[in-house]
Chains A and B, each alone.
Chain A
C-alpha cells in the first residue's frame, strides 16, 4: 500500500507560494519521510529555481477566487482524489509545517477520510470562533488524510459540486464567507455524505498561528513569531501559519 503527501502550490501576484512549499517539503522530508507530489501550474514551475526533489504534477489551475483584494488559488483541492498517486494520501496546505511525526499516526488509521474539526490558537487569544458564521461547524481542510475508497471519492465529488453552486450552499447553510473556502466546502460535503451527521475527525486540534502573528525566524525545531511586540517560540510542534509573509522569511 503506497503512502505519500500531496501539496497544491500556485504562486499569486502577491505571494510566492513555491518558496513556502520549499520549506514545507523540507519539514516533511525531515519528520515524515514520505514521498511528495506537488500539484502546480506551469507559470509557478517556471519561477521555481530551487525545485525540491519531489514529483511534480502540472495542471491548468482554475482561477477567479479572491480573498479580500488578493488572488486565492484554492479551487483545485477537490481534484486531489483523482490526482493523488497514493493509496493513502496526506493532503496538506503548504503553510503547514511539520515539526513532529504526529501525522504518520493518522495515516495508520483505517478511517478513509480524516479532517480536523477543532483548531488551537497558539497565541492564546482564541481568535477562531466561527460558531455563528454558519449552521454547521466549520471543519479545517488544512490537513486531510484519505484513502482511495468509494466514500472518499464521493466526498471529493461532492466538494466539486458544492464549488459549482457555492453561493447557493452559502445561503442554504447560512455561511457568512461568500468567497469559496475549502473549509466550508468540505464541511458541507462531509455533512451531506455522512447523512447530515459529522462523524470521524482527526482527534487532535489543528495548531494554528493566526495572521496577526508575524513569523520572524524559522529554526531547526520550530519558529519564532512576534505578537503584540513580543517574541515567542514554538518548538517540537506542528504549526499552521497564516502569515503569508513567511515566503520572505
Chain B
C-alpha cells in the first residue's frame, strides 16, 4: 500500500469534512431571524409549527430561541420570513455543495 497516497486522500477528506461543517454552520447562523422583538430559528421545525398553527387560527403563540412566548399576529408575514431565510441559507449551502461535487468529479 502506498501510504503517502493514503495520507493525501485522508487529508483531502478531512478538509472536505471541515468545509462542509463550516458551510452548515454558516447556514445555521443565517437562519436566525428577528420578529416582534424575538429571535427565531428559520429551520424546518419552526416552519412546520408555524404553518400548522397558522392553518388553525388567525393568531398563535410560539416559543422563541430562548423559550420566551411570542404572539404572532401577522402569521403570513411570519411564515414568509421564515421560509425566505430558510431557503436563502440552504440555497447558499446548495451552491457550495455543487462546487464540492464538481471538485470531487475532477
- C-alpha spacing A109/B40, complex, angstroms: 10
Asked if A41 is at the interface (CB within 8 A of a chain B CB), the reply is no
Set A106, A124, A199, A234: member contacting B21, Cβ < 8 A = A124
Question: Which of A102, A109, A201 has a CB less than 8 Å from the CB of B29?
Answer: A102
Which residue of B17, B28, B39 contacts A109 across the interface (Cβ within 8 Å)? B39
In the assembled complex, A14 has its CB within 8 A of some CB on chain B: no
Q: Is the Cβ of B34 less than 8 Å from the Cβ of A105?
A: yes
Whether A237 touches B38, Cβ cut-off 8 Å, given contacts A123-B18, A124-B18, is no
Q: Which residue of B lies closest to A199 (CB)?
A: B66
**A230 and B11 contacting across the interface, CB-CB below 8 Å:** yes
Q: Is the CB of A110 within 8 A of B37?
A: yes
Q: State whether A237 touches B29 (Cβ < 8 A).
A: yes
A111 to B14, CA, bound (A): 39
Using known A-B contacts A203-B41, A205-B25, determine if residue A232 contacts B32 with beta carbons closer than 8 Å: no
In the bound complex, CA of A122 to CA of B19 (Å):
9
Q: Which residue of A lies closest to B18 (CB)?
A: A124
A4 at the interface (CB under 8 A from B): no
- Are B66 and A201 neighbours in the complex by a CB distance under 8 Å? yes
B33 within 8 A of A: yes
Q: How far is the CA of A200 from the CA of B66 in the complex (A)?
A: 6
Interface string of B51-87 (1 = CB under 8 A from A): 0000000000000011000000000000000000000
List A212-249 residues whose CB lies under 8 Å from chain B.
Answer: 230, 232, 234, 236-238
Instruction: Contact check, B34 vs A108: say whether CB atoms are below 8 A apart.
Output: yes
Nearest residue, chain B, Cβ from A101: B30
Query: How many B residues are at the interface, by size bracket?
Result: 20 to 34
Whether the pair A124, B32 counts as a contact (CB closer than 8 A) is no
The contact string, 1 if C-beta is below 8 Å from chain B, for chain A 159-201, is 0000000000000000000000000000000000000000111
A102 and B66 contacting across the interface, CB-CB below 8 Å: no
Would B22 and A122 count as touching, CB distance under 8 A?
yes
Set A105, A122, A207, A236: member contacting B39, Cβ < 8 A:
A105
Bound Cα distance A122, B9 (Å)? 21
Asked if A108 and B37 sit within 8 Å, CB to CB, the answer is: yes
A109 touches B37 (CB 8 A): yes
In the complex, chain B residues whose CB is within 8 Å of the CB of A204: 28-29, 32
Give chain B's interface residues, CB within 8 Å of chain A. 11, 14-15, 17-19, 21-22, 25-26, 28-30, 32-34, 37-39, 41, 65-66, 92
Could you jot down 21 A-B contacts, CB within 8 Å? Answer: A100-B26, A100-B29, A105-B32, A106-B34, A106-B39, A108-B34, A108-B37, A109-B38, A111-B39, A201-B66, A203-B32, A203-B39, A203-B41, A203-B66, A204-B29, A204-B32, A230-B11, A234-B22, A236-B26, A237-B25, A238-B29
